[in-house]
Amino acid sequence: MDLNAEVDQLVHQTQTWIPLILQYGSRLLLALLTLAIGWWVINRLSARLGKLVGLRHSDAALQGFIATLANIVLKILLMVSVASMIGIETTSFVAAIGAAGLAIGLALQGSLANFAGGVLILLFRPFRIGDWIEAQGVSGTVDSIQIFHTVLRTGDNKTVIVPNGSLSNGIITNYNRQPTRQVVFNVGVDYDADLQKAREVLLDLAKDPRVLPDPAPAAVVSELGDSSITVSLRVWVKTPDYWSLMFMLNEQTRDRLRAEGIDIPFPQRVIRVVQEAPAQ
């Protein structure tokens, strides 16, 4: 009797557990299979996404960032889906992820602002490596663009690190973005000078191979100052030739004007002293 009772109890337990094992075992097997296939697909998609971004001639930093970000987000979604397939309640899990993200965001809000700024710079590309820019009170050549900051090299070979948050929200002057630049060279001449002769001297200096013929060079009287008349030479050059032409004009203008008898006056101020008559 005892043996038969034990057999009956074992058969009853087997009948109870086998459906549960089949039910949850199939779920677990399907979840593991989904996890393995999904993990492989996500890795392939992330690599393909990086290559697609690279086809648009984007920066290497942007390619790696987008591929990594897409990989992480898709894998988090995959893990949540697999957990729900097993039967785990994902509502609290998603809430925990949201709370953790909020806490991290509040603790690292400054760094996240720089991170967002880096993403915007890499996406919209207001400047590129090698450009000379002016921003946040500093100017220099862009050495590298990182996710959190941009490295500039000044004209005297100093390294300046500018946070991307302030850089993306401020005014950026890119001196290399356009292929040509206008050189505006102002020189003050004496009020007694021959203005036509002064204009001819400046236009003669503009007969330089670096000066572009279109738009044509122009020399105009731009201002009547306190002690001099400002004559302005305006020419267009290719961007790499800007400073070399400006230095040449600074060097040769004085001698050429002096040879034509035209003086460049220094600032002057006339002071009148009025003496009051003594009281009677």
Residue 236's SS3 state is strand
pLDDT at 205: 92
pLDDT at 1: 47
* 176-189 residues labelled b (16+ CB within 10 A) or e (exposed): beeeebebebebbb
- CA 160-166-170 angle, 5° bins: 105
The whole-angstrom separation of Cα 13 and Cα 36 is 33
Q: What is the pLDDT of residues 149-183, one digit of tens each?
A: 889 999 889 999 999 888 888 899 999 889 999 99
CA 209 to chain centre: 34
pLDDT at 158: 92
Q: What is the pLDDT of residues 221-274, one digit of tens each?
A: 988 888 888 999 999 999 999 999 999 999 999 889 988 888 888 766 667 776
Task: Identify the band that residue 199 occupies on the pLDDT scale cut at 50, 70 and 90.
Answer: very high
Query: Closest Cα partner for 175 from 131, 137, 218, 213?
Result: 131
pLDDT at 145: 83
Q: Which residue has the higher pLDDT, 50 or 209?
A: 209
Report whether pLDDT(64) > 70: no
**Do 121 and 62 meet the contact criterion of CB atoms below 8 Å apart?**
no
Q: What is the pLDDT of residues 80-104, one digit of tens each?
A: 787 777 766 666 666 666 766 666 6
Q: What is the pLDDT of residues 8-24, one digit of tens each?
A: 565 555 556 556 555 56
The whole-angstrom separation of Cα 97 and Cα 80 is 10
